[in-house]
Structure 1
């Protein structure tokens, strides 16, 4: 099961000081990421040239040239070389550390080996969504009336609440009473998304606890098999409470172009949505967002089209390598997904570039902070609480990933030398207890930070 928790207020966090003093990276639209791994795929429509953090002369899976290293980096590398062999991590481990300012690969261990990334997949989903839709994009839920029926029309908003439905019902009831109507039927229209299917790498055992069948209408994030009729039932109850009789049961229908608009609710901006999705690793939000991103790119709201758009954005807009990159969903629940640590580090490195602050900033801000209650790195999940990693509490921002047989941790921290470091660690197949594996992962992050020297 992928990692999830309950959202809580998020403190302002800027490890090692404000990012605004950081030197602006050179080159446009991801140019410096062109030469990535020996098997990098061709990029269509955009020419990418210039130096890369993963350039062949640095060597993925090897350290940077000794002449470029300071004493802190030398110690960091020496420590990682030993600690990546921790028996708790098993033998199938991929890892990489970058110096974000100098664009140098400091250290790599099987960095281009594609492993099951679990919820680290959400980093790719969020990047594509913010790029295609824009951080100010909002989702709209509507109510229309026709032929004696109020139809609740889903707009892909996974943040819709009962309170929002209450306001929609009040507005709708006012209109009905003004027209002299005292009873109405209720229908739901979730046709924005096609009938739910399983992604490659999913099984029916995921429903509805790990993820609900993906529909365009849901209320209060309910984990049920039919979120649309569940939301329709909640809407009908609010209508009744407001003094209108609802006849019959809630049905599924497609709103007509001749139906009269009655009320609508607009969500918070996408930047807020992404912030929450990353912070608590919400699978349902990720899968809805994948479909909305596909629609925003003019494609169908399906797993195939959504993941195709993710690939296109990463490669063509940002120059991220797609070598050995395979994803089949937006949440990371798919056991068929494969992403190298090197690629995840590339995606995270975008968050250190001031050029992308306006578009991608909510991903960085949403990254769980080590020891932050209410996030997937909080004490309730047993994170950063052992003798080796507790020194890094409040100093690391990272996306977690947890499936049976796969644990990942990828993020940002300021190293002992005061420079931003980007890291990604993934293990697959360790037979150790999951809590012990996470302790070892947290120790690697504390090593990158330099507090565990």
Structure 2
């Protein structure tokens, strides 16, 4: 795996105690409408259309220029917009009616040589015989857990330590994506605004929490601001900038690090100093101040002179909005956070979730908001600690059962608003943090989609794979105590490929 995602730490991962006790996590979901106990009075019902989704996702992302540029989800986006239940400002207009139904699974799968009409999923015993030996290899360290679920039926096909809390690294971004999409909807956009005082002598750049704000957007804000000020006959102005939308410490517990910028409601280009748009990079220690200074220069270019250095401040009583920039919709932000393992976007998404919940937009407020949102969705949260949105914090703990539950919920036809969680997953051998993994001759290439996770001594992979019968399987493999990242990654990739081939 490339270095783009690693949040390396000098602290070794504590070794958790392994367990051989059989675990049944589905009992914890018995009150959820999404899950029912396998083999009992309830069976988890997720429509078989999930398999169709898997084929579309796997093929579409490879052909598209990038996961968030693809038109493969337009029908689902329209449907999500039509039935969107979440409120909040800056949502896209809902369409009056959703599109017609997608083709049935047999019609889609038959041309690929799949066995149409097959309803019994691959047996758990078959998967155990091929997965268990790979999971037992030394490359996966001292503790490893795994869960595989057939998303069409909800049947748990394989489980080892399903309820054991593990450090997830960046796979926790799956939880971040589900929470923010559920809370605000895929069409929500984050606003950055400029407000002018009643006498038009003071201009305030107000950060809304958009980490993807760029210089082009700032230039547009400056042009609109200059136009509004010219209409009022204003020349020189004082420039202030407002970051009050966020609270709490700006510095991530990991400390100054090339994997994340100090968290601020106002930043340009993710606070990167080298012009890159992904991976580790030199970071500013003053993202808001840098953004304000860049904006001041653009105002000057537009004919509005700022008399002094921008300073922190808030728009006063009687001020008015003179310019607004809206981010890309949350669907695109979630996809980018997952595909590139973007920590700055992930932390911004958690804070948007917190604001929607009425919590402070901080690490602590985000933890409470995301946990509460997932609880409302009926997900198994025993042992979970969602300390941040990016996975850089080693205090994060999730189970393999929670990760597969999140993925299965995103595949549920009743939750089209969560689909970006699937479409944003890197495609094996093609996109995002999996673009340099999986050789061209691997059966997993282009078929496995998964979120990677890497910290020192921690390696994880969670996502979806299409089996030989065209079924969409959700999986999560978590390992700690690893000593060779490359060997651990190769083993995790082999596990996911095994789901595709059914053989070691």
TM-score interval, smaller chain: 0.7 to 0.9
How many residues were matched structurally?
398
| Distance change in 2, residues 1:365/1:376 (3 Å) | same
Relative to the length of structure 2, the TM-score reads 0.74
1:367 corresponds to = 425
- 1:429 pairs with 2:493: no
2:236 corresponds to = 183
1:439 corresponds to = 490
CA contact (8 A) 2:26 2:37 kept: no
Map 1:301-380 to 2 at 5 A.
Answer: 301-316=361-376, 318-357=377-416, 359-373=417-431, 375-379=432-436
CA distance in 2, matches of 1:429, 1:323: 22
- Deviation at 1:75? 3.7
CA distance in 1, matches of 2:4, 2:146: 23
1:286 corresponds to = 346
- Tell me the secondary structure at the aligned position of residue 245 of structure 1: coil
| Distance change in 2, residues 1:53/1:219 (3 Å) | farther
- 1:219 pairs with 2:268: yes
1:144 corresponds to = 195
| Distance change in 2, residues 1:149/1:266 (3 Å) | same
2:300 corresponds to = 240
- Deviation at 1:391? 2.1
Map 1:133-212 to 2 at 5 A.
Answer: 133-146=184-197, 148-198=201-251, 202-206=253-257, 209-212=258-261
CA contact (8 A) 2:171 2:451 kept: yes
- Tell me the secondary structure at the aligned position of residue 213 of structure 1: coil
2:446 corresponds to = 394
- Tell me the secondary structure at the aligned position of residue 347 of structure 1: helix
- Deviation at 1:3? 6.8
- Tell me the secondary structure at the aligned position of residue 376 of structure 1: helix
- Tell me the secondary structure at the aligned position of residue 351 of structure 1: helix
- Deviation at 1:176? 2.3
CA distance in 2, matches of 1:241, 1:320: 52
CA contact (8 A) 2:2 2:433 kept: no
CA distance in 2, matches of 1:276, 1:71: 33
- 1:408 pairs with 2:457: no
CA contact (8 A) 1:271 1:362 kept: yes
CA contact (8 A) 2:261 2:270 kept: no
| Distance change in 2, residues 1:253/1:2 (3 Å) | farther
CA distance in 1, matches of 2:126, 2:136: 16
String of CA shifts for 1:268-317, please: whole Å, max 9, x gaps: 2111111111111111111111111111112221222211121122122x
CA contact (8 A) 1:158 1:218 kept: yes
CA contact (8 A) 2:121 2:150 kept: no
| Distance change in 2, residues 1:447/1:127 (3 Å) | same
2:136 to 64, 71, 85: 85
- Deviation at 1:371? 0.8
| Distance change in 2, residues 1:47/1:362 (3 Å) | closer
| Distance change in 2, residues 1:347/1:259 (3 Å) | same
CA distance in 2, matches of 1:186, 1:240: 11
- Tell me the secondary structure at the aligned position of residue 409 of structure 1: strand
- Deviation at 1:54? 10
2:155 corresponds to = 104
String of CA shifts for 1:102-122, please: whole Å, max 9, x gaps: 221111122211110001111
Map 1:256-271 to 2 at 5 A.
Answer: 256-271=316-331
- 1:249 pairs with 2:298: no
CA contact (8 A) 2:148 2:158 kept: yes
- Tell me the secondary structure at the aligned position of residue 143 of structure 1: strand
CA contact (8 A) 2:237 2:306 kept: yes
CA contact (8 A) 2:123 2:157 kept: no
| Distance change in 2, residues 1:53/1:231 (3 Å) | farther
CA contact (8 A) 1:3 1:281 kept: no
CA distance in 1, matches of 2:151, 2:34: 18
- Deviation at 1:73? 5.7
- 1:36 pairs with 2:25: yes
2:289 corresponds to = 229
CA distance in 2, matches of 1:55, 1:151: 60
